Copies of this chain bind each other. A is one copy, B any other.
């Protein structure tokens, strides 16, 4: 009908995956269109055909990974009832997703600090519209309403939880043998203590 065909979408997805691999392995600066095309087994021109430019390709990477993350975490989070449970599930699921999608997250970690808009200003839009961020803040506020959590600033706690997960990624990035399940357990205990009411 209208819009991109199924084939077209599959082709785009293929380039997104190749780009993710190259960025994860060789870094943002080294990820030229030539290398990405080579990994995909085609020539540079093809990428320009499917994407308006390198910017759109990068944008698509972010979008795809965000979508994928939300689809992975969303249902698991919905199954939890209390805020404490949700916090637990969120941390465990985040690190579980990380374990299953190493390249994707390594790539995002390279892309975020390097994306700039036309004016040269850093682009934070996507970072803060990302699914995780919103889900965390919501569950924190809910826990505060039910009295499970103490009276902290939800924005700070949200950023800190998100940063804690990024910290795990950083560690895992250069210590691939890191036990992410155990790491998740430590984070759960840490943030349950950090959020619990004074009693």
Among B27, B156, B171, B173, the residue within 8 A (CB) of A114 is: B27
Interface residues contributed by chain A, number (CB under 8 Å) = 43
- Identical chains in the assembly: 4
A176 touches B (CB below 8 Å): no
Interface centre among A150, A157, A174 (most CB of B within 10 A): A174
Q: Mark A142-163, 1 if CB is under 8 A from B, else 0.
A: 0000000010110111011011
Among B113, B162, B187, the residue within 8 A (CB) of A113 is: B113
Rounded to whole Å, the gap between the CB of A73 and the closest CB of chain B is 19
A15 touches B (CB below 8 Å): no
B residues in contact with A164, CB < 8 Å = 159-160, 163-164
A60 touches B (CB below 8 Å): no
With contacts A113-B113, A173-B122 known, is A190 near B194, CB below 8 A? yes
A52 touches B (CB below 8 Å): no
CA distance A124 to B124 in the complex (A): 25
Kindly report which residue of chain B lies nearest to residue A198, judged by CB atoms.
Answer: B193
A13 touches B (CB below 8 Å): no
A189 touches B (CB below 8 Å): yes
A26 touches B (CB below 8 Å): yes
CA distance A124 to B174 in the complex (A): 7
Q: Mark A95-111, 1 if CB is under 8 A from B, else 0.
A: 00000000000000110
Rounded to whole Å, the gap between the CB of A91 and the closest CB of chain B is 11
Are the C-beta atoms of A113 and B152 separated by less than 8 Å?
no
A53 touches B (CB below 8 Å): no
Name 21 interchain pairs, CB-CB below 8 A, sorted by A.
Answer: A25-B120, A26-B116, A26-B120, A28-B113, A28-B114, A110-B113, A113-B113, A122-B173, A122-B174, A124-B174, A152-B189, A153-B186, A156-B186, A156-B187, A156-B190, A159-B164, A159-B167, A160-B164, A160-B167, A191-B194, A193-B196
